[in-house]
A and B are shown apart, each in its own frame.
Chain A
Amino acid sequence: MASVTNMLRLDGVDRSFGGRRVLQNVSFGAEAGRMTGFVGGNGAGKTTTMRIILGVLAADAGQVTWRGVPLTRAVRRRFGYMPEERGLYPKMAVREQLIYLARLHGMTASAAARNTDTLLERVGLAERRNDLLEKLSLGNQQRAQIVAALVADPEVLVLDEPFSGLDPLAVDTVVDVLKERASAGVPVLFSSHQLDVVERLCDDLVIISAGTIRAAGSRAQLRATHTAPRYELVVEQDAGWLRDHPGVTLVELEGARAVFELPRGADEQPVLHAALARGPVREFRPVVPSLADIFREVAL
């Protein structure tokens, strides 16, 4: 855990809409220099949480701090935000509106223009810079939207589903740009439904379900705490006998191949011995649980 001075933190955030509680005691942090994936099902509270971070919605209780200081509009102006509901001015030229947005975040006209041009080049929109936004394809509008979040050199990046609607090539570009920002010392908090993308991208993970945080920490930490040790065994004949082996919980069984879990802290060697006693063993290895596994374990 890094010191609080380089963290975007939420502490005990509550929010209700007309009596329906949407967030309950939400607390987690996004560390500077790391990519933090924010995952949860539909309606779990991701968007509400992000809106509260950006001050678009108010929290009923709790607070959000950056470097230990509660957020004010002046602090938030240095944040970059990509809302879930996308939108820019359809009838305004791409470059012009990005410069406008950068200036609303406090940049000078020349710095805003410089950043806009660099980023448009980077995401492959340089040639369309003077086109009206509405003339762009949806994928290109999405690229412009990402530039809008990055254009003012934000200290903190909060991105709600940044990869939805992007083609695979654009996903790679955006992943590169975000990683660059993270390694420059920016906390990058992003939500996504695409667990494979999150898996590839995030250093830390926050899992939310029904308005409460179920797990938060680095991927390795979460694996260690939230999933039981898992092994794959391939033998010569049917592996069905594993079902009756003490301590084993079968996850998958296909003839000679089986995936099973053992209680935390249990020794796996007795299972291997038992298998060898029955015949040759072709494979025996620990299985690293995927993010989807962790997610299923924690959120459901």
Chain B
Amino acid sequence: MNTLAATQLVAAREVRAKLRDRTFLLSTLIFLLAAAAATTLPSLLSGGPATVAATPEISAQLRAAGLEVREVPDDTAAERAVRDGDTDAAVVAGPTVLARDQAPADVVSALSVEPPVRLLNPAPAEPPGAFLVPFVFAFVFLLTSQTFGVQIAQSIIEEKQTRIVEILVAAVSVRALLLGKMIAGTVLALGQIALVALVTVVGLRLFGDSELLDLLGPAIGWFLPYFLLGFVLIAALWAAAGALVSRLEDIGTVAMPVQLVVMIPFFGVVFLSDNAFAMQVLSYVPFSAPTAMPLRLFTGDAAGWEPPLSLALLLVTALAVLAAGARVYEGSLLRTNGNTSLRTAWRERETVG
């Protein structure tokens, strides 16, 4: 059996264990419900078009504008309908629009004549809030990589704490163990995100803004490779962090530096997003690239050759951290009676064939 087969076995076990973990299932369910609510509730709560009370003479014109019309015999009845709250507005002789405390824009525009407009240099239509899209993606990346990263570290510590690790490393290489855990974490994270994305897309198609959906398409396309490699990088960091402690209670002592390494670049991107030069730099730094490069691509600031280069840089860094993580893991493996300093773990590696 080679390292690949061992890695597969390890990854499959991790995934199976996770899929039976109530906390994981519950958190996935909550994410899905949140996504479903965020996409469907706004249109369900807004209650559709305004209702208008009007006499038969004018009702046809209002209906043609897509309003819900309640026909009333005269203007007095129309006014009463508004006062009683039976309708949102009423149209009486004049024509005059009656409403309670706010001018109903859709009723007003149904009765007005708009002059024709000719744009000489039209900008591409961009729905409000579109600029937020890459930040939302970046936030999802941050959240997911932290959640699943911590779980990778926990799974490593657990094997040390329950001592099964000695049986495991007698049979398979440390690299296969680490890689298996990272692959499992990545598969689970991607799976969870894909599910949430699916619910979001279906929700938007059915209830919401399909213009926003069209914008999301290409953004997701670039987000995927960055998410994948970015996650491998962060997972490797967490694996190394997990290797340094031997009890779950001590995870906090190593979690902080890893969290900072992930958070600082994220906030750097958020606060420097208007600074083209800073963004260009950040889109190559491996820790901020997964956030910065998709953002530059989204706004059209990055040239075509840039993403492959920054992805390659990210990949090399991820592999280097993985190798370093494996070395630290080997060095701290059997020091199960205390935490290991990074330096000791690095030097005390067991060089076993």
Contact = CB atoms under 8 A, between A and B. Distances in A.
Nearest to B168: A104
Interface stretch (A33-41, A84-92, A263-271, A273-281): A84-92
Max count, chain B CB within 10 A of own CB: residue among A57, A79, A83, A87: A87
B13 A79 contact: no
Interface in A66-118: 71-73, 76-77, 79, 81, 83, 85-92, 100-101, 103-106
Contacts, number: 75
Interface in B141-179: 162-173
B243 to A, nearest CB: 15
Contact of A54 (B10, B13, B170, B173): B170
Question: Which of B1, B9, B13, B164 has the most CB atoms of chain A within a 10 A radius of its CB?
Answer: B164
A56 B350 contact: yes
B128 interface: no
Interface string B30-49: 00000000000000000000
A87 B166 contact: yes
A58 to B, nearest CB: 4
Interface in B315-344: 333-334, 336
By size class, the interface of chain A is 20 to 34
A101 B173 contact: no
A209 B162 CA distance: 29
Interface residues of B, number: 25
Contacts of B248: none
Interface string A33-55: 00000000000000000010011
Contacts of A100: 9, 13
A198 interface: no
Interface string B224-267: 00000000000000000000000000000000000000000000
Given A56-B334, A57-B350, A104-B172, A89 B164 contact: yes
Contacts of A88: 162, 164, 167
A83 B166 contact: yes
B17 interface: yes
A13 interface: no
Given A72-B353, A85-B163, A86-B163, A56 B169 contact: yes
Interface of B: 1, 6, 9-10, 13, 17, 162-173, 333-334, 336, 350-353
19 contacts: A51-B334, A54-B166, A55-B170, A56-B170, A56-B333, A57-B334, A57-B350, A57-B352, A73-B353, A81-B166, A81-B170, A83-B163, A87-B165, A87-B166, A100-B9, A100-B13, A103-B9, A104-B6, A104-B10
